[in-house]
Amino acid sequence: MFKQLKPFAALCVAAGIAFSLAGCGGKDEAAAPKEASAAKTLTIGVSPVPGGDIMNFLKPRFTEKGVELKVVEFSDYIQPNMALADKSLDANFFQHKPYLDDFMKQHNLRLESLVPVFIAPIAVYSKTLKDPKAIPDGASVSIPNDPTNGGRALLLLQHLGLIKLNDPNNLFVTPADIVENPKNLKIIEVEAAQLPRSLDDVAMGVINCNFALGAGLNPVKDSIAIEAKDSPYANVVAIRAGEASRPEIQTLKELMNSPELRKFIEEKYQGSLLPTF
């Protein structure tokens, strides 16, 4: 499922802004309120990289289709889903499907995946090692502290032969599920956004793609091991359940799987993001 390679955010949280348009006046202005009310606004929450880059690229396309796109950046994995649930956002774009499913279960939310967009491979980075198998006995390894990405990191470590898990197919394994650890590695769970900084203190770290890119690390060029293309962790656009038929949501779905976006992803990220469409 994985392949090994040779050597391949702390951004502010913003709040969504709602607005209304009103018109008044005489005969010359009679048409203005009608035009304003016909305008559609779509507010989407994203991680700055790559979500923010992608949505800002698409902004002109939304305008052409009569939709004003508002992009709100978040630096964590909690608030975008909570803001979507409380209707501060119309959609979000920062997470893979297993994380969304687990988050909905844990928080009793009614959200759904609108469309998959890309796979952002999780990868292993180190400031001292060129081969993860050369890690010394007793060394520390940092992994994400959220359930799905933590399990994803452990599955990669298992594939590399560094640990063995009690269920090799469980996407939600934790360090407690490690049954063999021949090098006595110390697994350090770290908030995902802080993983790039952790590299100064550990032998190697398993870092989510968006936070790696935000720290100037290219998963293809800078990692020492990376997921393969058959990863089940496709990043999706999430919406509230039952709202897929809204016209602006349909526009979002269309543009998120458009040829223009595929070309943008392939040219900008050079293989570190893999389109699913």
Q: How much is the pLDDT for 8? A: 34
Same domain, 162 and 204: yes
Quickly count: other Cβ atoms within 10 Å of residue 95's Cβ: 26
154 and 94, same structural domain? no
Residues 165 and 42 in one domain: no
Q: Which two tokens stand for residue 203?
A: 């032998």
Query: Looking at the domain assignment, is residue 1 inside a domain?
Result: no
35 and 47 together in one domain: yes
Task: With respect to residue 237, please indicate whether it lies within any of the assigned structural domains.
Answer: yes
Alpha carbon separation from 90 to 16, 20, 105, 240 (Å, rounded): 10, 16, 20, 8
* pLDDT of the residue at 38: 57
pTM summary value = 0.74
Residues of the chain scoring pLDDT < 70: 1-39
Rounded Cα distance, 94 and 15, in Å? 16
Structure tokens at 215: 């720290």
Report yes or no on 56 lying in a domain: yes
> What type of residue sits at position 108?
N
Strand partners, 119: 234, 274
What pLDDT does residue 277 have? 93
What pLDDT was estimated at residue 266? 95
* Claim to verify: residue 36 and residue 168 sit in the same structural domain: no
User: What whole-number percentage of the chain has pLDDT above 90?
Assistant: 79
- Per the structure, how many domains does the chain have? 2
* Residues 113, 237 within the same domain: yes
Q: Is residue 77 part of a domain?
A: yes
Bridge partners (DSSP) listed for residue 207: 123
Provide the pLDDT for residue 53: 97
Q: Residue 51's domain spans which residues?
A: 9-120+232-275
Q: Give the domain CATH number at 163.
A: 3.40.190.10
Cα dihedral sign, 217-218-220-226 = positive
Residues 6+ apart with CB under 8 A from 276: 116, 117, 118, 119, 234
